[in-house]
Amino acid sequence: MSDPALRRTPLSADERARAEANFVPLVTGHLRESGRFRITADSAETMELWQAVARRAGETLRRPVVSYANGRDIVITFADAAPAAEVLG
């Protein structure tokens, strides 16, 4: 007997706002320490969430921050860091 396909319940507006607010300190901490943050984001919803987190991290740090995605992973780094090919490679 096979397992049914995994179905994700979309985040509510409140859940998304809380997730975004709670992930910003995590990302800013990694950016301060290593200059980058990498995470698996395998759905359009999670990609959008992490891109919003990247924008807010940039605002918090008062530095330009970019996010690179390859369809599975997303890397958040400072805009003046390595090009996408190096970051996702």
What pLDDT, in 10s, does the model give residues 23-76? 999 999 999 999 999 999 888 899 999 999 999 999 999 999 999 988 889 999
| CATH label, 13-88, candidates 1.10.3470, 3.30.110, 1.10.10, 3.40.50 | 3.30.110
The predicted pLDDT at position 61 comes to 97
- Per DSSP, 72 falls in state S
Collapsed DSSP state (helix, strand, coil) of residue 73: strand
The predicted pLDDT at position 39 comes to 96
Residues 89, 70: Cα–Cα separation, whole Å:
10
User: How is the chain split into domains, by residue range?
Assistant: 13-88
Residues 63, 27: Cα–Cα separation, whole Å:
13
Phi, psi of 46 (to 5 degrees): -70, -35
Query: Comparing C-alpha atoms, which of 65, 62, 59 is closest to residue 78?
Result: 65
The predicted pLDDT at position 43 comes to 87
Instruction: Report if pTM > 0.75.
Output: yes
- pLDDT range class, residue 88, cuts 50, 70, 90: low
